[in-house]
Amino acid sequence: MSFNQWLSQRIEKTKQAGLYRELRTMSTAPQPKMIVNGTQQIVFSSNNYLGIANDPIVMEKALKTLEEFGMGSSGSRLTTGNTEWHEMLENRIASFKRKEAALLFSSGYLANIGVLSSLPEKGDVLLSDQLNHASIIDGCRLSKAETVIYKHSDMSNLEEKLIETQTYTRRFIVTDGVFSMDGSIAPLDDIMKLSERYDAYVIVDDAHATGVLGERGRGTSELFGVSPDVVIGTLSKAVGVEGGFVTGSRVLIDFLINHARTFIFQTSLPPVSCGAAYAAFDIIEKRQELRERLHRQINVIKGTLESMGFTVYGQGTPIIPVIIGDTEKSVRFSKKLEENGIYAPAIRPPTVPEGESRIRLTVTATHNDSHIEHLLASFEEIGRELEII
Ligand SMILES: Cc1ncc(COP(=O)(O)O)c(C=O)c1O
């Protein structure tokens, strides 16, 4: 069998299982209305939660940095790729997150891999939430420590696992701050209490919480008034740019500079991204009205869909998953939404558990009332047609 025949057979199996994925082409900037595959759609699947990706102040800063520093950074941070913009942004992120220091990575994915593959040692154990993001799962796989999974946000199960793992040298609890497919928030206050009682360290991936949760958008730490040992984040969601970061103590950052392979062996972020992200943090901190508007939209959408009879997950975050159940029906639902001018993809196994296929809506501060009214009316119509409500 030829190489391509072998791959085609495997793809065919994916298709038969209804799990085939295809790319869509966006022909416009990330706004609520975009041209998707040639047709205009109201997009309810963007991570640009505060609309910063094309904010004029951020774009102006990007252009200025681009003129000064050019496009690529030309090397890893430890060779020629460390500019003043990288250091300024790290200081900005550290002060925003109320931590001693921060370190940039090329993406949130690589930040998770870098931390989890370098920090725990052989003889340690990682206690990982069942619904953690793929980058945490992959980081655990690359770690020399063992991994034990606890039930999603189930504190008595986590406590049981902490008791069972007392013979390990060190325990690390690792969790998403906001779970990317469920929109739920990790009970960080309880996790911190358990970590103190059982002498464990806590690592939180605040990818979807940064800019969104807490009064100033500092994330789950601000929301719960706690300070985990390691807080990871991305610049690609509410910050509206690209890149990842880790925050914590100065010694943690020194350690990662010396041991995190995804930091050491990677070309650094382009300075233009650092300049843009720097400006974005000012918006996040100062423009509270964007966050307030976002949370109003979340409440309207979730509340209305629930009152229509839909099962809606999520806990006051911009991720609003509407459970359809059957995979094929979810895909049909998403197609019908698209025919109505709404882009909201179906999320299927293995990304979510079998029988829990869903339409994963995300809302942004830039959606207006008429976008939301159209979304809700379409959900009601399609929900009745497919006998979901
Ligand atoms: C929880 C979580 N962590 C990490 C990432 C990866 O971040 P990035 O897109 O910056 O690689 C994502 C999403 O992409 C995510 O949802």
Pocket test for ligand 1, best of 175, 178, 180, 184 (most atoms within 8 A of CB): 180
| Strand, coil or helix: 35 | strand
CA 17–ligand 1 middle distance (angstroms)? 26
pLDDT band at 19 (very low <50, low <70, confident <90, very high): confident
Using a 10 angstrom Cβ sphere, with 0-12 exposed, 13-18 middle and 19 or more buried, the burial of residue 29 is exposed
Which pLDDT score is estimated for 87?
98
Residue 201 structure tokens = 């360290």
- Mean model confidence pLDDT for the chain: 97
The 10s digit of each residue's pLDDT in 103-116 is 999 999 999 999 99
* Those residues with Cβ within 8 angstroms of residue 3's Cβ, 6 or more apart along the chain or in another chain: none
The secondary element (H helix, E strand) that includes residue 196 is helix 188-197
269: which DSSP letter? P
Which pLDDT score is estimated for 81?
97
Which pairing describes strands 39-43 and 146-150: parallel, antiparallel, or unpaired? Answer: unpaired
pLDDT band at 56 (very low <50, low <70, confident <90, very high): very high
Name the nearest CA neighbour of 201 among 137, 121, 106: 121
Per cent of the chain over pLDDT 70 is 100
Cα–Cα distance for residue pair 221/214, rounded to 1 Å: 8
Contacts of 195-201 spanning 24+ positions with Cβ under 8 A:
197/162, 198/159, 198/162, 198/163, 198/166, 198/171, 199/171, 200/127, 200/162, 200/170, 200/171, 200/172, 200/173, 201/170, 201/171, 201/172, 201/173, 201/229, 201/230
Question: Looking at residues 201-228, what average pLDDT do you find?
Answer: 98
Q: How many CB atoms lie within 10 A of CB 303?
A: 11
Question: Looking at residues 8-31, what average pLDDT do you find?
Answer: 92
* CB-based contact 181:133 (threshold 8 Å): no
Cα–Cα distance for residue pair 376/273, rounded to 1 Å: 36
The yes-or-no verdict on residue 227 having pLDDT over 90 is: yes
- Provide residues with CB under 6 Å of ligand 1: 107-109, 112, 133, 135, 176, 180, 205, 207-208, 234, 236, 244
Which pLDDT score is estimated for 17?
84
For tokens 């496009």, the residue is: 71
When mean pLDDT is compared across 17-31, 179-193, 328-342, the lowest value belongs to 17-31
Q: How many CB atoms lie within 10 A of CB 289?
A: 9
CATH 3.40.640.10 in the chain is located at 55-286
Q: Going edge to edge, which strands form the sheet with 346-347?
A: 311-312, 319-325, 357-362, 346-347
Pocket test for ligand 1, best of 46, 104, 106, 109 (most atoms within 8 A of CB): 109
Query: Which residues pair with residue 233 across a beta bridge?
Result: 245
- Class at the top of the CATH hierarchy for domain 55-286: alpha beta
Name the nearest CA neighbour of 294 among 349, 345, 351, 365: 365
Cα–Cα distance for residue pair 164/151, rounded to 1 Å: 15
List residues with catalytic annotation: 180, 208, 237
Phi then psi for residue 212, to 5 deg, are -115, -45
CA distances for 352 relative to 150, 324, 326, angstroms: 16, 12, 12
The yes-or-no verdict on residue 350 having pLDDT over 90 is: no
The 10s digit of each residue's pLDDT in 66-90 is 999 999 999 999 999 999 999 999 9
pLDDT band at 307 (very low <50, low <70, confident <90, very high): very high
- Was domain 24-50+288-385 assigned CATH 3.90.1150.10? yes
Which pLDDT score is estimated for 258?
98
Using a 10 angstrom Cβ sphere, with 0-12 exposed, 13-18 middle and 19 or more buried, the burial of residue 259 is middle
pLDDT band at 20 (very low <50, low <70, confident <90, very high): confident
CA 109–ligand 1 middle distance (angstroms)? 5
The 10s digit of each residue's pLDDT in 252-294 is 999 999 999 999 999 999 999 999 999 999 999 999 999 999 9
**∠ CA 40-41-46, rounded to 5°:** 130
The yes-or-no verdict on residue 18 having pLDDT over 80 is: no
Residue 228, CB half-sphere, CA atoms under 13 Å: how many? 35
Cα–Cα distance for residue pair 202/199, rounded to 1 Å: 10
- Which atom in ligand 1 lies closest to the alpha carbon of residue 109? 11
pLDDT band at 320 (very low <50, low <70, confident <90, very high): very high
Question: Looking at residues 364-389, what average pLDDT do you find?
Answer: 97
CA 7–ligand 1 middle distance (angstroms)? 28
**∠ CA 113-237-245, rounded to 5°:** 40
Q: With the CA atoms of 232, 234, 235 and 240 taken in that order, what torsion angle do they form, in degrees rounded to the nearest 10?
A: -140
CA 212–ligand 1 middle distance (angstroms)? 15
Per cent of the chain over pLDDT 90 is 97
The 10s digit of each residue's pLDDT in 166-211 is 999 999 999 999 999 999 999 999 999 999 999 999 999 999 999 9
Name the residue with the closest Cα to ligand 1, atom 7. Answer: 108
Cα–Cα distance for residue pair 204/60, rounded to 1 Å: 32
CA 377–ligand 1 middle distance (angstroms)? 31
